[in-house]
Amino acid sequence: MIRLEARTSTPAWFNLGLPLLAIGATLVLCSGLIALAGAGVIEAYGVMFSASLGDSYAITETLVRATPMIFTGLAVAVAFRAKFWNIGAEGQLLAGAVASCAVGAIPMPGPLAMLLMAVAGAAAGAAVALIPATLRVKFKVDDVVSSLLLNSVIFYALMALIEGPWKDSFSGYPISPPIEDSANFPGLLEGTRLHLGVVAAFLAAPVIWFLIARTTLGFRIRVIGENPEAARYGGIHVERVLISTALLSGALAGLAGVSEVGGVHFQVMSDISPGYGYSGIVVAMLARLNPLGVVPAALFLAAVMTGAEAMSRATGVPAFLSDVIQGTALLAMLVALLFTAYRIRRVGTAK
Amino acid sequence: MPTPDPLIEMRGITKSFGAVKANEAVDLSVAPGEILGLLGENGAGKTTLMNVLFGAYAPDAGEILVQGRPVTINSSADALAAGIGMVHQHFHLAPRLSVLENLLIGIPGKSGRIDRAGGLARLNEIGRQHGLTLDPDLPVSALSVGEQQRLEIVKALFRGARLLILDEPTAVLAPTEVDGLFSALRSMAAQGLGIIFISHKLNEVRALTHRCVVLRHGRVAGRVDAPASTTSSEMARLMCGHEIVPPARGPSTPGAAMLTLAGISTSRHSGMALRDVSLSVRAGEILGIAGVSGNGQRALAEVISGVRVPHAGQMTIAGKIVSRFSPREVQALGLGRIPEDRMTTGLVTNLPLADSMVLPRIGTDAFSRNGLLRPDAIRAFAEAQIKAYDIRCPGPMTRAGALSGGNLQKALLARELAFDPKVLIVSQPTRGLDIGAARFIHEKFLDMRARGCGIVVIGEDLEELLMLCDRIAVMYEGRIVGTLDSADATIAQLGLMMTGAEGTG
C-alpha cells in the first residue's frame, strides 16, 4: 500500500528538475502511441529532434514558432499568479491580431505603423480580458467559464469579419487584406523567418519577471493570488489589482497576435492561431508561472510542434501527436507539482 | 484506578521529519477509566504523537499495543477499528447535514439503507449516559461551537471508541461549557473509557486529569502522578525547562482617548451584527472584550480594522474621525492589528515570511519607491525583526507557512509594533500558543501599554483577560452588556455576564 504524506520542505532541485522530469515522462508515455502508429520510437523522436533543433534553419523555425507562445505563456503566468484564471488568451490573441491588422493596413511610415499595431493589439487583448475580470469582480462570475467561452465569441467575430467586410473580393478567400509592406516587421537574418517580434518576445520575459518580482504591482499580484483576505486586511484593493492583472495579461496575449500578423502572416485568416492561446496555459504551467521559465517552456512546445510535422512526413505518424504531447506534458507537470507538496510513502498493510 | 492491563500503550515511539526528531522514544499508556493529560509547549511533539496514534503518520520506530496486543495503525479507519477516537481542534463535520446524518456518515446501514432508527436510539442513549444531548434534526451549521464539539465526541463514542483523544478541547469553549465538557468526560471515564486530554491550560489539567505526561523537544520530560496536588508552576517548569513567572501589570495613568466607538451598529451581513456599541480606550490602557465567540466580536474587530463599514455610529482613532472605514485609512491613523486567524487574514503562507512582514506597508516609502520594491530594505527589516523578536526560522525568505504558530504570532506582532501604533486591536492573542510564547506576547502588550498605546484585546480566556486588562467589557448578542474594572471583576461574575445577565459595572 502506498499513500501521500505532506512534505515539510521541498528540496531545491525540485524546482528545476520537475519540468525536465515531466517532459521525460511525457516522451516515454507518448512513445507507446508512436509504436502503435507503426513507427520506430527512436527514429520518430530522432526526426522530431533534427527537424526542430538539428540545424540552424530548424532552430530559427522553432524560435519563430515559440514567439507567440512566449507571449501567451507570459499572459497566462501573470494571470495565474493573481489566481485570475484567464483561459481566454486565445481570444485575446485573435483580438490583438485583428486590431493590429486593421491598423497595419493604413498607409503610414513603417516604424510608426509597427508601434501603433503593437499598441492597438495590446489594447484589444486587454479589452477582451477586461470582460471576464469585470464579470468576476462585479458579479462573481466564474472567470474560467467566462474567459473560455469568450474565445468562441471572438473567433466567430473574426470569421464574420473575414467572411464579410474583409473578404478578398478577387479570390473570394476568407482572408483579410494584407497590411502595408512598410508595416511588415523587419527580418533579422537573411533566408530565415526570424522577425522583430521574436526579439520582442525574448525581451518581454525578463521585463515581466522584473514586474512580478520587483515592483509593488507585482507584489500585490502575488499577494492577492495567494491570500486575498490577508491582502484586503493589509490595505490592498484586491479588485483593482485583479483588473490591472487582467489588463496586463490580455495585452500580452494581444501582442502574440500582433507578432503573428506583423512578422509571419501579414494578414488575418481563420487559422492564424493553431491554439497558441491554449498552449500558453501549458507553457505557463511547465514554467511554474515563472516568467523566465516561460521561454524554455515555449521553446520545448515549439520544438514539438515543428518536429511533429516533419516526423509525420517522414514516418507517417499523424501530426496530431504534437497535441497529444502537449496535453500529456500538462498532465505530467500537474502530477509532478503534486510532489512538491507531498511525497509517496510505502506503508505496511493494515491489520 | 489504573489497572494492570492498559487500554492502550505506546512504546518507544520515534518519528522524524528530515533532521527534526518530532518524537523520540516516547512511552505512554492509558488505563481504562483513566484521564491522561498530555502537556508540552508548541513543537514539543504532542500533535505528532497523537497523529501517530490516530494513523496519520507511520512511526519510524516503536510499537502500539491495544489491550496488550500489538497493532499497526495506518489510517483513521484502522484507529477507529482499534477503538481510538479523536476530537480534533478543527471539527470534521458536514455543515449542511443534520446531527443524525453526520453521525451516520460512513456507517454501513442495513441492506443498503441508512439505519436512522438505530442511530437515533444510540444518539439518545449516549446523550443520556454522559449528558451530551443534541437535537438530532438540527443542521450542524445551526449548532454552537460547543455543540459541534459535543457532536464530535458523540461521533467517536458512536463508532465504539474505547479511548478518546481531545486536542485542546477547551480552547473554543466558554467557561460554563467547559464545566459541561468536564462532567461528560468524567462520566465516560467512570464507565471505563480512557481519555487523553491535550491542553495548555494547567489549571484545567490539574482539575481534570488523573495523571500527566509532559513532552519537551519530542521526549518525555516528566510524568506527574498526582496533578491535583502539583502546582501549576511546577508543571510549567517541566514543560519549558525553566521557571515561568507571569508578567505583572503595574499601575498606569491612562491619557487621552485613543479609540472611541459611539453607537456603532452593523447590518447582519455574516455572523452576529453589532447593535449600538460604544466604547473608549485611552492611551496606556488595555480594554478586554470578553464573550462567548459568535456574539459580535468578529464584527467589532472588522469595524475597527476598517474592513466593515458600520451603518450607524462614529469611530475615532487618536482623536480623528474615521470616515471611509478602509484598512488603509485606519492604519494611516495609527491602528495596528493582530488578527484572530493568523493564517487567513494575517499572513500569506505560501510566500516568503518577509513578504508577510511588509504586506500592510508595501506602498509606503519604507519598502518601495516609485512603484519599485526595495528588496534590500524589505530583507533588512525582516531580518531585524526576526532577531529582535527571536522568531525561529531559517531566514526571511522562508515560506511563512513553515513557521510554528508562536513564531507566526511573533512575526505579526513585530510587523505591527515596528511602526508604533497608537491603537492595537488584538483577537485571541495567545490561542494555541504555549506558555513561553504567550508570556512573550503578554509582555509586549504591557510594554506597549507603558508607552501610551491604547489596546483592545478580544478574548475568551477570562484568566488571561483579568491578568492583562485594566477594564473588561462583556459582549452578548452584538451588544456590550457591561464593563467592569478588572480589579473588582471575578471570573464568576464575567461568566454570568457572558450568558447575557446585565453587568453592574
Shared-domain flag, residues B292 and B437: yes
B278 and B168 assigned to the same domain: no
Does the residue B399 lie in any domain? no
pLDDT at A63 over 80: yes
Where do we find the cell 521557571? B243
The reply to whether B161 and B87 lie within a common domain is yes
Residue B449: what pLDDT?
94
Place of cell 468524567: B186
Residue A184 has pLDDT above 90, yes or no: yes
Please report residues of A whose CB lies closer than 8 A to that of B326: 235
Residues B119 and B164 in one domain: yes
Structure-block grid coordinates of residue A312: 509525420
B114 against A131, higher pLDDT: A131
CATH code where residue B435 lies: 3.40.50.300
Among B58, B349, B375, whose Cβ lies nearest the Cβ of A345? B58
pLDDT in tens, A72-89: 999 999 999 999 999 999
Domain assignment present for residue B504? The answer is: no
Residue from A82, A77, A86 nearest A231 by CA: A82
Which class for B248: exposed (0-12), middle (13-18), buried (19 or more C-beta within 10 A)?
exposed
Q: Which pLDDT value is given to residue A167? A: 87
| pLDDT > 90 fraction of chain A, expressed in percent and rounded | 69
Together in a domain, B49 and B136: yes
Question: Mean pLDDT in chain A?
Answer: 91
The last residue of one of the domains, among B184, B212, B240, is B240
**Taking CB atoms and an 8 Å limit, are B57 and A5 in contact across chains?**
yes
| Per-residue pLDDT of chain B in tens (505 residues, 90 and over written 9) | 445 578 999 999 999 887 778 899 999 999 999 999 998 887 788 888 998 998 888 899 999 999 888 988 888 888 988 999 999 878 889 988 999 999 888 777 667 777 888 889 988 998 888 888 888 898 988 888 888 999 999 999 998 899 999 988 887 777 778 888 999 999 999 999 999 999 877 888 899 999 999 998 889 988 988 888 888 888 888 888 877 677 778 887 888 999 999 999 998 766 789 999 999 999 999 999 998 878 899 899 999 999 999 999 999 999 999 998 899 999 999 999 998 878 788 899 889 999 999 999 998 888 999 999 999 999 999 999 999 998 888 889 988 888 877 888 899 999 999 989 999 999 988 877 777 888 889 999 999 999 999 999 998 888 889 999 999 999 999 999 999 999 888 888 898 888 877 644 4
Q: Is residue B165 located within the same domain as residue B78? A: yes
Of the pLDDT bands very low, low, confident and very high (cuts 50, 70, 90), residue A9 is low
pLDDT value at residue B337: 92
First to last CA, chain B: 46
B347 and A5: CB-CB below 8 Å? no
User: Which residue from B283, B250, B282, B246 is spatially nearest to B446, judged by alpha carbons?
Assistant: B250
Q: Are residues B67 and B148 in the same domain?
A: yes
> How far off is chain A from B386, nearest CA to CA, in Å?
20
Per-residue DSSP letter, B283? T
Residue A16 has pLDDT above 80, yes or no: no
Task: Write the residue in B18, B348, B373 that is nearest to A227 by C-beta.
Answer: B348
Q: pTM here?
A: 0.80
Same domain, yes or no, for B282 and B146? Answer: no
Smallest CA-to-CA distance from B240 within B214, B260, B263, B261 is with B214
Residue A244's pLDDT band, with cuts at 50, 70 and 90, is very high
B213 and B264 part of one domain: no
In a domain, B407, yes or no: no
Residues B431, B285 share a domain: yes
Q: Is the pLDDT of residue A123 over 60?
A: yes
Residues of B in contact with A239 (CB under 8 A): none
Nearest partner of A263 among A121, A124, A160, judged by Cα = A121
- How confident is the model over A266-298, as pLDDT tens digits? 999 999 999 999 999 999 998 989 999 999 999
At B372, list the grid cell. 519599485
pLDDT at B502: 60
pLDDT, position A10: 67
Return the DSSP state at B505. -
How confident is the model at residue B245, as a pLDDT?
Answer: 72
Residue B37 in any domain: the answer is yes
Q: Which domain holds residue B322?
A: 257-334+421-498
- Closest CA in chain A for residue B365: A216
**Is residue B293 domain-shared with residue B191, that is, in the same domain?**
no
Question: Which sign does the torsion angle of CA B128, B133, B136, B137 carry?
Answer: positive
Of B240, B275, B305, the domain-final residue = B240
Which domains does chain A carry? Answer: 2-346 (1.10.3470)
Name the more confident of A209 and B431. Answer: A209
Contact B408, B402 (CB under 8 A): no
Total tally of structural domains belonging to chain B: 2
B203 domain residue, yes or no: yes
ipTM value > 0.85: no
Where among B183, B208, B240 does a domain terminate?
B240
Give the torsion sign (CA, B37, B41, B43, B44).
negative
Question: For residue B236, what pLDDT is reported?
Answer: 82
CA distance A7 to chain B (A): 9
Residues B112 and B62 in one domain: yes
> Which residues of B have a CB under 8 Å from any CB of A?
17-18, 20, 57-58, 71-75, 77-78, 305, 307, 326-328, 331, 337, 339, 344-351, 355-356, 359-360, 362-363, 368, 371-373, 375, 402
Asked if A348's CB is within 8 angstroms of B74's CB, the reply is yes
**B352: in domain:** no
B372·A214 Cβ contact <8 A: yes
